[in-house]
Structure 1
Amino acid sequence: MLKEKAGVLAGQIWEVLNGNEGKTQKEIKKAAKIKADKDLFLGLGWLLREDKIEASEKNGELFFVLK
């Protein structure tokens, strides 16, 4: 069940990041309408593990972009 949820969340995050130059974790959370930080990081972790996104730090915030 949790694995399926991670995949769904990853899809939502991918849709938010698709077609732009990246977003901060706060921007992704808001745009994807994800309520809990744990859900956000579950989806981000999936995408990182699948090597679909790159993570960096900008102005003290986590920043993500599609590869």
Structure 2
Amino acid sequence: MLKEKAGTVAGLIWNALNGTDGLTVKQIKKATKLVDKDLYLGFGWLLREDKVTIEEIENDFFVALK
């Protein structure tokens, strides 16, 4: 059940990032309306699948599609 949710959340994040050069976590959270625990679950899925890069810039994380 949690695996399905992770995939669904990852899809929402991927859609928010698609067509951009990348977004901050705050911007992704606003675009997807996800709560923190779900947001990071989706990030984990996307990182495991090697679909995104995440960098820490000025006390925030910047996420971009590969």
TM range (shorter): over 0.9
The letter of the residue matching 1:48 is L
Q: Return 5+ residue gaps in structure 2 as ranges.
A: none
Counterpart of 1:61 in structure 2 is: 60
RMSD over aligned Cα atoms: 0.6
Q: TM-score, normalised by structure 2?
A: 0.96
* Shift >6 Å, 4+ stretches: none
The number of residues matched between the two structures is: 66
Instruction: Please state how far the C-alpha of 1:43 moved relative to its aligned partner.
Output: 0.3
Q: TM-score, normalised by structure 1?
A: 0.95
The letter of the residue matching 2:63 is F
Q: Return 5+ residue gaps in structure 1 as ranges.
A: none
Counterpart of 1:3 in structure 2 is: 3
- 1:25, 1:3 → 2: CA distance? 22
